[in-house]
Chain A
Amino acid sequence: MSTEPRNTLYGVLGEFDSADALMAAARKIREAGYQCFDAFAPFPIPGLSEACGLHYGLKGWRHNFVPQLALLGGFGGGLTGFFFQYWVNVYAYPLNVAGRPLNSWPAFIPVTFELTVLGASTFAVFGMLALNLLPQPHHPLFTVPRFKRASNDGFFVCIEATDAKFNLAADAKFLESIGAKFVTEVRDED
């Protein structure tokens, strides 16, 4: 963490007044050829992610790798579960319990199942957080007071400075042109 106050440009933020407007805006921005931009809404808007060009499945794994992770966790948990029990009962300390076979696999199924579910869900949740780079309590966007409404009734789009064709003035105008009723630059500053 550098100590001297920094003041870097993060991007330009535009606010729209409805979910539909936001969708439209997102589409336009994408058609305009922007790569690094993001839309913000107080609730999941169906289709918004497509509008922003986010994909499901392996193709768009950078955008959503959660299902694959869950699958991984599930398999991991299940296999560990079963073979651990197998090892304990057949190798670690074989014992005659009620005359049941050492490898009483039917009796091992409940634990196997539970561990499958446990693995899958933990991977899904923590995978989601990790991919979303959370926790991230500090973010340039939070410097914009209006942005608070993103968790209430505000709909925003932010074109990020990292975008190849980023230009503060031009992009700001562009946002206004597509109906942003409030536009501001976002600075990551102390």
Chain B
Amino acid sequence: MDGMSDHEHKIDQDNHPPNAEERELREYPLDLAAADTKAKSGTGKQYWRSIEELAGDPHFEDMLHREFPRAASEWDESVDRRDFLKLMGASMALAGMAGCGRTPEQHIVPYVKQPDGLILGKPQQYATAMPFGADAIGILVESHEGRPTKIEGNPDHPSSLGASDSFAQASILDLYDPDRAKTPTYAGDIRTWANFQEVAQGLATSQKAVSGAGLRILTGTITSPVLAAQIQYVLKLFPQAKWHQWEPAVSDGSREGAKLAFGRYLNTVYRIEKANVILSLDGDFLSSGPGHIRYQKEFYRRRHLSGPGDEMNRLYAVEPTPSVTGSAADHRLPLKASEIEAFALAIAEKFEDYATKLHPKLSLLFSPNAVKFIEAVATDLQKNRGTSLVVAGEQQSAEVHALAHAMNAALGNVGSTVYYTEPVEANPVNHAESLHDLATDIHNGKVDLLLILGGNPVYDAPRDWAFSDFEQKLKKVHTVVHLSSHYNETSEFSRWHIPETHFLESWGDARAFDGTYSVIQPLIAPLYQAHSAFEVLAAFTDKPGVGSYDAVREQVKAILGGGDVEKNWRKTLNDGLIAGTAFAPVEAAAKFSPANLPAPKTAAKEELEFIFRPDPTIYDGRFANNGWLQELAKPTTKTAWDNAALVSPATAKRLGIGRTIASRGGEHGQVRSSVVNIELAGGKVTAAAWIVPGQADDVIVLPLGYGRMKAGETGSNKGFNAYSVRASEALWTATGGKLTVTDDEYPIACTQYHHNVEGRKIVSSASLEEYKKNPNFAHEKDETPPDGLTLYQDFQQLGYYKHYKWAMAIDLTKCNGCSACVVACQSENNIPVVGKDQVMRGREMHWIRIDRYYETGLPTQTDDAKNEAVEIPALYNPPAYFQPVPCQQCENAPCEQVCPVGATVHSAEGLNDMVYNRCIGTRYCSNNCPYKVRRFNFLRFQDWETPSLKLMRNPEVTVRSRGVMEKCTYCVQRINNVRIESEKDNGGVGREIRDGEIVTACEQACPSEAIVFGDANDPNSRVSKLRAQQRNYNMLGELNARPRTTYLGAVRNLNPDLEKA
């Protein structure tokens, strides 16, 4: 166990009776040295080595001195050692015919002392939580011999209900990111943690002298009681010290809105499942913000149709740019962000409560179309008093939030569809002001010791007044201690940099969006010399070196009070949370009336409005170095690896923004888009423009998070930095900017450019009305031949599809393109990241993709925007449909017939098996696949060298190398493992597999339960029931491929008054 980090030892120092079960709960990582060789040829052994390197091998230091340790997350094409290896491999292969070459000896490296409860080759699951903004996502982590490999939602946790999102799924890659900072540094030179602790003590004493007048602490949003307590403890030791908070992508709107409405900070919790009618004021509650996973689950549970009899909730969305929520809405109205307030007022105006009291003739501000919309929404809301809900968007102003609260109150929704609790944040403050104060103090030289715990202010602080150059400010501070996972832009200007532990590496806790207390337990000791914020703070206190383990234990004990402490502790760790700790609703007396609001003004026509939004995949930039999220196509734009200034088709036409499809990659890969210069808030940025159907005219969206300079090999120098034109007084919506279109073009990686189904049987949709009238709408013009109609022999008679008949049903009504399934699949199936260049050649590897189609009403739409005249109006606000496309597992699979070596054939249970080791890579199967779901390793995309990435791989799935075709297998590894378990039951006699016992990765992740997998032979399985529905149809049924993956037609609950508006 030598060479393990201090953390390890600290744990051992914990003086509890060493208890078997507890030790299991606290797995420690040398276990992975023993990873059974099944875990991909001696990975364990090599990893053991790299641990020793970490324990002070001289070469390791050189590696650290390199500015960029070679990243593996993004595949790079430069000719390097890897090419040489490939050359060797190839030549050996050619000489020795690889197949029959004699492989070298392998070794088995068993444990020295095997941890109790560990069964070799059996994954274990641990409950923990992922802190995210003012929320904690409850997760279960799968661990193979001590290596966390897969993150899934924790069914018992209120914030996830067993689902997850792309961020949670991808966070495992952050843990193994080879670019992570690996050791504490002082001015860039390597130091040990011990060095730091000494220095910290020194600084502490000097601060003590001035009772901490020069000490400042800067953190993000903190919901961890333990960490908060630690900060408070520090503040107690240093009374003059101050605690500042800055979270770039979380708006003060909701906080201040509550203050405006109720006179104090309150936390708003929705009960979406209770709402029949929802109005979203530029809100994206389905895919971002606290509780979004739960909200999505609840929202779609209200949209589950078992037949034409069922009812659905209805969602109206008003937003400047299409969000996941807006795309899922039944009715959507594009409005400038600045017009939302007026819109909200106009709605409120219609309520009896306020009628006449409000500003009259508000509706004159809006187009007839919008007025109609307002009318309809207002009536619909009032029809559903108590069961309606108004949601204000994160990025909206305090006023809009206050209005939303007022409307909910007026509609009697408070207590039914929405309630308020004490803030989840340990210390809610106005972040903009907080950071401003800090900057001013620094400016005035009041700060000599600044602890930046997480975050990256140099990169993401606003770019005006005191902040015009935060780095210059930092230089004025005597000592800056920066704690972060990567050595990033801020670290550059900090004397001390301490690598931050990943949440899978350290003890901690957090409160979920509703206040539920969740425990964060480590699954692996820190891979590098990393430490948590708690430990860094401890270094400045009178008890340095104390870990957070005790504190968490104490916290749990405090919450649960008496009883068997040990038992409670173990139960808590087992559940990952303490049930019933959600905050109770509080009575919030309204201190606000819409009438008090000044008459809203709407933006002048044709004046450009610039709005900032967190990026859908890399958020505020913290995920910039995460290859999975970078390569994940953004739900509404289908672009990857870049952000772009989003504009509406009409505005694009007006400004002369164009785009052309590059012949390399084309619609499935590369589009060259105009480059624009944006001058705003005294900053200037050059960005690629991207045309987004359904965006409000004259609105330019600037997604945050890109343009990182020191994110790591994967994330640096991608896209443009929107923060550089972001001013503090206009953090979310800015006007007065200047946009000039240049003649340059910039290649954008776009995985799906063509958005018209060309009248093919791909997506079928209807309104709820139509569905009730014609439940069979999905089979209109369906040319699928009847089952009996075949000359082929019936394989059932040969024993096929007898026992189990796996099938998947995907309900298009429930898919909003959030893409959690895509990342979940990538994580489960060891799918490589190929990088922007390869994506632009149309070679991305996702086994499940999400196609996005617009209902444009256009008969056909050719490649370029040649026919703008018809296209622009059609694309003003087109309903969007999202279709997840995994392998369809056709019974008459076109791919199988053409494979010359039988590398893809049918299994007895109807899976379209793909045998990687038999595949020679003719690509004929992909050509012949009508759904184009097969993916090919054109080059060696898989990273075979980086040790940390080897740890991450799922040993249950073959790691594919160059020249091999791959595709979705319905997670056959999960099927097989469950089947084997079921067959072992009853003393080897076995039993039937229960419905829902096998859950594919995509199904597991899906927050809207759109994907259902199961046995089609069992009439009672969920999938059979779905397949029995009339909405159930085959994609491209007329080809008679007989897919096992079927779709259920999308149904939208349209408001009759607005229908065909």
Residue numbers of A with Cβ under 8 A of B are 94-102
Contact = CB atoms under 8 A, between A and B. Distances in A.
Contact of B798 (A94, A97, A98, A100): A94
A98 B793 contact: no
A96 B795 contact: yes
B804 interface: no
Interface centre among A97, A98, A100, A102 (most CB of B within 10 A): A98
B1042 A98 contact: no
Interface in B752-799: 792-793, 795, 798
A97 B896 contact: yes
A97 B792 contact: no
Nearest to B928: A98
Contacts of A101: 792-793
A108 to B, nearest CB: 13
B617 to A, nearest CB: 37
Interface of A (DSSP majority class): loop
A96 B792 contact: no
Nearest to B791: A101
Contact of B902 (A95, A100, A102): A95
Interface string B882-903: 0000000001111111000010
B208 interface: no
B228 interface: no
A94 B798 CA distance: 10
6 contacts: A95-B905, A96-B905, A97-B896, A98-B893, A99-B795, A102-B798
B906 A96 contact: yes
A100 B902 CA distance: 13
B906 A99 contact: yes
Given A96-B795, A97-B902, A98-B894, 5 more contacts: A95-B906, A96-B908, A97-B906, A99-B795, A100-B892
A99 B6 CA distance: 60
B906 A100 contact: no
Contacts of B906: 95-99
B905 A99 contact: no
Nearest to A93: B902
Nearest to A103: B793
Interface in B786-826: 792-793, 795, 798, 800
Contacts of A102: 793, 798
Interface residues of B, number: 18
B905 to A, nearest CB: 5
B792 A100 contact: yes
A96 B897 contact: no
A98 B902 contact: no
Given A95-B902, A95-B905, A95-B906, A100 B897 contact: yes
Contacts of B800: 96
Interface centre among A95, A96, A97, A100 (most CB of B within 10 A): A96
Nearest to A88: B902
Interface in B859-899: 891-897
A99 B891 CA distance: 6
Contacts of A99: 792, 795, 891-893, 906, 1042
A-B pairs, 4 with minimum CB distance:
A96-B906, A98-B897, A98-B896, A99-B892
Contacts of A94: 798
A99 B800 CA distance: 10
Contacts of A95: 902, 905-906
A100 B906 CA distance: 11
A49 to B, nearest CB: 47
A159 B978 CA distance: 88
Nearest to A102: B793
B1045 to A, nearest CB: 16
A99 B792 CA distance: 7
A94 B797 CA distance: 13
A94 B799 CA distance: 12
B599 to A, nearest CB: 69
Contacts of A97: 896-897, 902, 905-906
Contacts of B795: 96, 99
A100 to B, nearest CB: 6
A100 B907 CA distance: 13
A99 B794 CA distance: 8
A102 B902 CA distance: 13
Contacts of B896: 97-98
A98 B800 CA distance: 13
A95 B793 CA distance: 13
A99 B902 CA distance: 13
Contacts of A98: 892-897, 906
A98 B892 CA distance: 4
A98 B897 CA distance: 5
A97 B899 CA distance: 9
A94 B895 CA distance: 18
Nearest to A89: B902
A177 B176 CA distance: 103
Contacts of B891: 99
Contacts of B793: 101-102
A95 B899 CA distance: 13
Contacts of A96: 795, 798, 800, 905-908
Nearest to B893: A98
A96 B889 CA distance: 13
B171 to A, nearest CB: 40
A97 B904 CA distance: 8
B300 to A, nearest CB: 35
A102 B892 CA distance: 13
Nearest to A95: B905
B789 to A, nearest CB: 13
B806 to A, nearest CB: 14
A98 B795 CA distance: 11
A101 B798 CA distance: 10
Nearest to B907: A96
A101 B896 CA distance: 13
Interface string B904-930: 011110000000000000000000000
A97 B902 CA distance: 8
A97 B896 CA distance: 6
Contacts of B892: 98-100
A96 B895 CA distance: 12
A97 B890 CA distance: 11
B1003 to A, nearest CB: 25
A99 to B, nearest CB: 4
B926 to A, nearest CB: 15
A100 B890 CA distance: 12
Contacts of B902: 95, 97
B1037 to A, nearest CB: 15
A97 B898 CA distance: 9
A96 B907 CA distance: 7
A126 to B, nearest CB: 30
A95 B904 CA distance: 10
Contacts of B894: 98
Contacts of B893: 98-99
A35 B1053 CA distance: 103
A79 to B, nearest CB: 23
A104 to B, nearest CB: 9
Nearest to A99: B892
A60 to B, nearest CB: 46
A99 B892 CA distance: 5
B1039 to A, nearest CB: 12
Contacts of B895: 98
A102 B797 CA distance: 12
